[in-house]
A and B are shown apart, each in its own frame.
Chain A
């Protein structure tokens, strides 16, 4: 019994230490964004890496999510003659939940893992030490631009995923399920408020911060060669997924 309690205590203390280190890294990266030299070139490169390179997978995910949502909702709603509300459900689901969450998960898998692997490799090959010896703060140079990229690109990707999702839902409803195009479009926008869109975009910005900071954190503190880099990469994706899912519920419950 004592051993079990010791193990639980050890895990809890490890978790607290990790949360502390993650928070400190986040704080230092935020300070780095506002401290000269402002790394515009690096930030733009990271925006390309996090945003542009995740574009196709995000758009495809958004489109097919909207399409399957339309299909499933139609089947369910037909049972009580509410097919005309399919557009509303697709639009609300995409903007409030599925757009930001699925985009977050897709980018965590694509860009978050890539950030952790890149920084992890830099750590184990002493490139991060080399930055420090050259009097360049590695957090300001490596983490701050990635954090900024996540903060800017996730909302943009989410907005695009929302558009493709709603469009996908429209195409399936109108051209496969035979819904009236005009009614579908009107129902889509009748119940959609700015609050729905903003809440999703806000969530996406939070997910952008989570993905990039967790990816950087896992890579930055990787140790133990190739095995350590692998562990950092997996750890970054798992931790990002968990934090995205949990923070999504908290944000929805508290604010939206």
Chain B
């Protein structure tokens, strides 16, 4: 459903991605792990066309997004929902307006219908009755859940999660994990999650890929990753201070 082919990207002479290849199948939950600042968010932003590759192609259902017209790209983006690391809620709007924003923009639903859909999505993420609060009145975990409610309001086919559990306490992190699993099982969404939280990765992933030194160096099921012989992956998943990553191993 999503294919990244030989993606290269540099910022001010610093090469962040050096030929990323990754395929995400329909209905699959793919998790990309990697250290902070290794380019995981950059990789995810390529899928939405927020960043364009210097070289390589991004295919969504076989269609190269670089060759799409503005209108086609808009239609493709409607298939996506994205949960940002900091939730990226519009702070000039209430929670209800945030969640209902996509519906107001892209559907002909009445205000009443939008209100009902917003209530339903907030209920789904375990936050009923907070429509009139403003984002600055919410805790970090609540913001993430409202961000998720906004991402699923349009009932997208593909969900992208940018570090969904970062900065949350373990219980709240697990609540988010459960929601991600529910999205996959109940709504059959295809998803890509980027994280460095291994507990979360093992729980939500069908497959895990590791991004290191600008490339995906290994892809496998959570069991395969846990039993990997690759010393770089091994160091990362065990969280060891000693190993090839800290010794600056390059591929």
Contact = CB atoms under 8 A, between A and B. Distances in A.
B226 to A, nearest CB: 32
B48 A132 contact: yes
Interface stretch (A63-71, A91-99, A123-131, A200-208): A123-131
B88 A126 contact: yes
Interface stretch (A102-110, A133-141, A172-180, A243-251): A133-141
Contact of A125 (B45, B74, B86, B101): B86
Interface in B20-41: none
Contact of B82 (A118, A121, A133, A137): A133
Most chain B Cβ neighbours within 10 Å, of A122, A127, A134: A134
Contacts of B187: none
Contacts of A136: 101, 105
Nearest to A135: B77
Nearest to B81: A133
Interface size band for A: 10 to 19
B88 A134 contact: no
B90 A130 contact: yes
Interface string B134-177: 00000000000000000000100000100000000000000000
Nearest to A130: B88
Contacts of B154: 134
A127 B105 contact: no
B56 interface: no
Contacts of B106: 135
Interface residues of B, number: 25
Contacts of A121: 91
A172 to B, nearest CB: 42
B185 to A, nearest CB: 24
A126 B86 contact: yes
Contacts of B82: 130, 133
Contacts of B91: 121, 125, 127
Nearest to B90: A127
A129 B89 CA distance: 11
Contacts of A132: 48-50, 77
B77 A134 contact: yes
Contacts of B78: 135
A129 B45 contact: yes
A126 B77 contact: no
B168 to A, nearest CB: 17
Nearest to A127: B88
A129 B83 CA distance: 11
A130 B92 CA distance: 14
A177 B213 CA distance: 78
B103 to A, nearest CB: 10
B202 interface: no
Nearest to A45: B92
A135 B90 contact: no
Interface in A11-53: 37
26 contacts: A121-B91, A122-B90, A125-B88, A125-B91, A126-B85, A127-B88, A127-B91, A129-B45, A129-B50, A129-B88, A130-B82, A130-B90, A132-B48, A132-B77, A133-B48, A133-B77, A133-B80, A134-B101, A134-B102, A134-B154, A135-B74, A135-B75, A135-B77, A135-B102, A135-B105, A136-B105
In the A-B complex, the 6 residue pairs with the smallest Cβ-Cβ separation, listed nearest first, are A135-B77, A126-B88, A130-B88, A133-B82, A135-B74, A135-B78
Given A37-B105, A129-B84, A133-B81, 5 more contacts: A126-B85, A132-B48, A132-B77, A133-B80, A135-B77
